[in-house]
Chain A
């Protein structure tokens, strides 16, 4: 089964997925499938999400009113549901991004020296 494959991918923390969705929608409204594709593409397939887990996340964001839903037509001319960033979501994205980079920086500072020592 797919367990092995599963482990090599980076499992996304819930909050991270939220952040990635917000970041994707910053570029403009998109429908669900497009958001999934964009996240995969932009992260060079390293961050692979089970696409389904996108939906609970989207609903969570809608509930918090960080994104909103609007009707639209997809690239193949079909009616589709588009998600767009709200003003509140935009502010939240700024907050989350700075939090994330602080965290990432901190983790990097902790991990890097150890790795160098290990090599020598």
Chain B
């Protein structure tokens, strides 16, 4: 090290000695001292280069040069603070947005589910071919699961779980808590070890032994303040003691909604798990398909083998059941089912945010290219002084890398904040949203993206500067009239590209927005304005008999209806848009119960006044009244009427709601179809029965008022309390909010896509503004001459605008064409609008062209104010 230092320090002296000796020699040969010195210098070559090359020999040189370049680069960046700020800010926004979205993609799509060897986990679904038109696959049912457990050797293990809810009492305020009813081996299959205590024992699956629960970590912390002594103690659930046997680790995650397959509905919040405690003998092999079945395949067993084996078992079950229907199964990787349709949306967002970053890069490349001529002058001088091209290019790349690093550092910060915001606003049913966080992979991604952007926007300007002819650059430095055609072409094509990508993003965002508007405008079958929905649940220990429940509900309705401002009130056991439930056949006497024709409907129990309160139109007959309480009557939806009694009057027709053990029920009315599952899913067959003795422990009160629902909240709450203060209110919100939440994922996608598209448009506008403004500044002289020759200011302005718009129009056209061609990629995300929707494309065209024209017009106005004398004297 010291040798290296000494050698370099001595070098100056060595060179001076050398030159002196050579000069001396030359003088001796008869040259004048001055001549001799010049000859010596000429013979020696570039002293700077020799020094640099010599230093390079001592290999640390690249580091030194880098340090030099960094210092020089920072100096250059400080010299133009406006440019630097703009560059770092846009980069930070671009990189930050990419970091945030990639974090989501990483956590939701790339990271395996938080279970042991999650790639071996599969969801098992059952298929009844006769039903597959309406329900392609069904969740599993309990007796069949027991058969698989015994007989299917492809599974290392299989577990089932379904949603459950109970009322917790005895610890402060009574509270409805949610969780899962699981076979004892669920945690074994998932590979989850409890943080405290144990998981379930096999015998706890049987009735009588099932009074144990495992709590999730968050529930344990919130409700029991993380008290470890709770393990082993009993808590009161549904009026009965349950022993807490274990606490799950904080890292445990459980899906929500139908992420474990359609027709399963897990709560948004998981508080506890309880063993099944059910006797499979009580269940029919072809009913109650309510369970998510999760299987761990044996290592080395393929899905195909497992499925083949399972289908043999299923066929036998169906044959033994003698119901005249078939039974098959399907095995789906758990992860793909959990993530499901969110994949496409997330990838679209990632592509969108990547496109934004691309525009950021192009913009910076453009701004740097604008600076090429002045930098070329500096580069020319340095080349003349002996700098190599590679060295110059490296210098310039260092500058752009510095920008990228600054942008990247700021971007990570912004990305982190952005991610927190995203998670906060994301709909709760977005799969795995609770797992989203920044990890090492995200940070590496950001580093990689930052470097890539640095290279992307820095490479072209660096190349151009380094390849500038020094002589020309020096000469041109004096008077610059017009820039070279290739340079202008390059910048124009960058602008065109920016506008193209921006247009594409806007079209996509526009299509998503149009979809959203169409979706919210869809005929829901019910009306949401001025409707308040309140979920109540009756503590089972105090409401054991049906009469008690009926009495509560009757009193409740009477009190609420008496409130000022209330027009009508009623209740139902499950609100529209909250998914399917109580799915069973409509069994018309005398018709075959098998085959494709068997209609399958969602059954609901409603109180009098429900249809009126929810704004569901009565089409025929009458609605359910107080007198119907103990009668076997039903109100059906229009599609039931069409499907079951086509061309006939459905009133007075009879059917069994379910199998033929159920009492024959008479149709008394027909109401409009409603969207039961989601706004973008067509209406299902609905059958409404009077609640009466079938009243459950939970109900959703629906109140239609003349005043805004929010103002009614306190009064309704008070009414419930006055009937029974022990009844917990689970939710109280306007119906509009339920609709709004049901489109949460779309709203999220639309919002982000629009945000990115607007950002892209602004960036492109900035690029156009910069380029046009620059061209006006450079053409002052030419414009001055034109003006001196008689051109009017407005002519010049129009000229500049027209020239500025040329790349814009080309870019716009390219963007529209790309959108037309690539539209089918996003078709799955659209609703009620074609990917080539002319209205959307026209609106986007208007927005793009107006914005671009403005971005051209503002700097072009300066062309009007060119004073010909000043411009000409400028020389």
* B46 proximal to A (CB < 8 A): yes
What size tier do the contact residues of chain A reach? Answer: 20 to 34
* A60 proximal to B (CB < 8 A): yes
- The 8 Å CB contact of B10, one of A31, A63, A81, is A81
A50-B45 contact, Cβ under 8 Å, with A55-B50, A59-B54, A60-B57 = yes
Cβ of A55 and Cβ of B21 under 8 Å apart? Answer: no
Number of A-B pairs, beta carbon distance below 8 Å: 57
* A80 proximal to B (CB < 8 A): yes
In chain B, what residue has the closest Cβ to A80? B17
A residues in contact with B56, CB < 8 Å = 56
* B22 proximal to A (CB < 8 A): yes
Main secondary structure of the interface of A (DSSP, over half): helix
B residues in contact with A50, CB < 8 Å = 43-45
Cβ of A51 and Cβ of B45 under 8 Å apart? Answer: yes
B residues in contact with A72, CB < 8 Å = none
Tell me how far the C-beta of B378 lies from the nearest C-beta in chain A, rounded to whole angstroms.
22
A residues in contact with B24, CB < 8 Å = 76
Measured in the bound complex, the distance between the Cα atoms of B10 and A55 in whole Å is 11
A interface footprint on B23-54 (CB within 8 Å = 1, 0 otherwise): 01100000000000000001111110110011
Cβ of B57 and Cβ of A59 under 8 Å apart? Answer: yes
A interface footprint on B53-77 (CB within 8 Å = 1, 0 otherwise): 1101110000000000000000000
* A7 proximal to B (CB < 8 A): no
In chain A, what residue has the closest Cβ to B11? A55
- The 8 Å CB contact of A62, one of B7, B46, B49, is B7
- The 8 Å CB contact of B50, one of A31, A36, A56, is A56
In chain A, what residue has the closest Cβ to B7? A59
- The 8 Å CB contact of A59, one of B42, B45, B58, is B58
Measured in the bound complex, the distance between the Cα atoms of B22 and A69 in whole Å is 21
Measured in the bound complex, the distance between the Cα atoms of B1 and A63 in whole Å is 11
Cβ of A52 and Cβ of B50 under 8 Å apart? Answer: yes
* A53 proximal to B (CB < 8 A): yes
Measured in the bound complex, the distance between the Cα atoms of B42 and A32 in whole Å is 17
* A43 proximal to B (CB < 8 A): no
* A98 proximal to B (CB < 8 A): no
B residues in contact with A52, CB < 8 Å = 15, 44-47, 49-50
* A119 proximal to B (CB < 8 A): no
Measured in the bound complex, the distance between the Cα atoms of B56 and A81 in whole Å is 21
Measured in the bound complex, the distance between the Cα atoms of B386 and A53 in whole Å is 13
Measured in the bound complex, the distance between the Cα atoms of B46 and A33 in whole Å is 16
- The 8 Å CB contact of A51, one of B11, B17, B18, B53, is B18
* A2 proximal to B (CB < 8 A): yes
B residues in contact with A62, CB < 8 Å = 7
- The 8 Å CB contact of B42, one of A2, A33, A78, is A2
Cβ of B21 and Cβ of A33 under 8 Å apart? Answer: yes
* B630 proximal to A (CB < 8 A): no
Tell me how far the C-beta of B438 lies from the nearest C-beta in chain A, rounded to whole angstroms.
45
Cβ of B7 and Cβ of A55 under 8 Å apart? Answer: no
B residues in contact with A37, CB < 8 Å = 25
Measured in the bound complex, the distance between the Cα atoms of B24 and A74 in whole Å is 13
Cβ of B45 and Cβ of A63 under 8 Å apart? Answer: no
Report which residue of A33, A74, A80 has the largest number of chain B beta carbons within 10 angstroms of its beta carbon. A33
Which of A's residues lie within 8 Å of B, judged by CB? Answer: 2, 31-33, 36-37, 50-53, 55-56, 59-60, 62-63, 69, 74, 76, 78, 80-81
Which of B's residues lie within 8 Å of A, judged by CB? Answer: 7, 10-11, 14-15, 17-18, 21-22, 24-25, 42-47, 49-50, 53-54, 56-58
Identify 15 new A-B residue pairs, CB closer than 8 A, beyond the known A51-B44, A52-B46, A55-B15. Answer: A32-B17, A33-B18, A36-B18, A37-B25, A51-B18, A51-B22, A52-B44, A52-B45, A53-B45, A53-B50, A56-B50, A56-B56, A62-B7, A69-B7, A81-B10
20 A-B pairs whose Cβ atoms sit less than 8 Å apart in the complex: A2-B42, A31-B17, A33-B17, A33-B18, A33-B22, A51-B22, A52-B15, A52-B45, A52-B46, A52-B47, A53-B50, A53-B53, A55-B15, A55-B53, A56-B50, A56-B57, A59-B57, A76-B24, A78-B17, A81-B14
